[in-house]
A and B are shown apart, each in its own frame.
Chain A
Amino acid sequence: MVFVRLCTPFVRLGDIIPIVRSRRELAQENIRLHAENDRLQQRERALEETLAEYQRRHALVAVKLHQSLQTIGARVIGRDASNWWKSIQLDRGSDDGVRVNCPVLNADGLVGKVISVTRGESRVLLLLDPNCRVSALLQKTRETGVIAGMEAGFSRAPQCRMTFVERNAKVAADQAVITSGLGGVFPKGILIGTVTDAHLNAQTGMYQDVDVKPAVDFARLEEVVVILGQG
Chain B
Amino acid sequence: MILTVLIVLSLLAAALQAALPTAWWLGGLRLELLPALVACGALTLPRHPVSALALAVVAGLAHDALSAAPFGLTALAYGTAAGAIFLLDEILDPDLPWVQMMAGAVVAAIAAVAACTVLGFSAGAVGKLVVLALISAVLTPFVYLLLGCCRHWWKSVDA
Chain A: residues with Cβ within 8 Å of the partner, total of 24
Query: A123 to B68, Cβ gap below 8 A?
Result: yes
The proximity string for A residues 83-97 relative to B, scoring 1 for CB distances below 8 Å and 0 otherwise, is 111110100000000
- The yes or no answer to A131 lying at the interface (CB within 8 A) is yes
Residues from chain A with Cβ under 8 Å of B69 in the complex:
82, 84-85
Residues from chain B with Cβ under 8 Å of A81 in the complex:
14, 17-18, 30, 63, 66-67
Residues from chain A with Cβ under 8 Å of B159 in the complex:
none
- The yes or no answer to B115 lying at the interface (CB within 8 A) is yes
* Interface segment, one of A9-17, A37-45, A151-159, A208-216: A151-159
Residues from chain A with Cβ under 8 Å of B74 in the complex:
82
Distance, CA A156 to CA B29, complexed state (A): 12
- The yes or no answer to A80 lying at the interface (CB within 8 A) is yes
Which partner residue on chain B sits nearest A116 by CB separation?
A: B68
- The yes or no answer to B125 lying at the interface (CB within 8 A) is yes
Distance, CA A78 to CA B17, complexed state (A): 10
The proximity string for A residues 53-82 relative to B, scoring 1 for CB distances below 8 Å and 0 otherwise, is 000000000000000000000000011111
Distance, CA A123 to CA B68, complexed state (A): 8
Query: A82 to B124, Cβ gap below 8 A?
Result: no
- The yes or no answer to A192 lying at the interface (CB within 8 A) is no
Residues from chain B with Cβ under 8 Å of A123 in the complex:
68
Candidates A87, A155, A219; contact of B67 at CB < 8 Å: A87
Distance, CA A130 to CA B115, complexed state (A): 12
Distance, CA A130 to CA B68, complexed state (A): 11
State the B residues within 8 Å of A (CB). 14, 17-19, 21-22, 27-30, 32, 63, 66-69, 74, 112, 115-116, 118-120, 122-125, 127-128, 131-132
Given contacts A85-B119, A154-B127, 5 further A-B contacts (CB under 8 A): A80-B18, A81-B14, A82-B17, A152-B28, A153-B123
Question: Can you list the 8 inter-chain pairs with the closest CB atoms, starting with the nearest?
Answer: A87-B68, A154-B27, A84-B115, A85-B68, A81-B66, A81-B18, A153-B124, A82-B67
State the A residues within 8 Å of B (CB). 78-87, 89, 115, 123, 125, 129-131, 151-156, 219
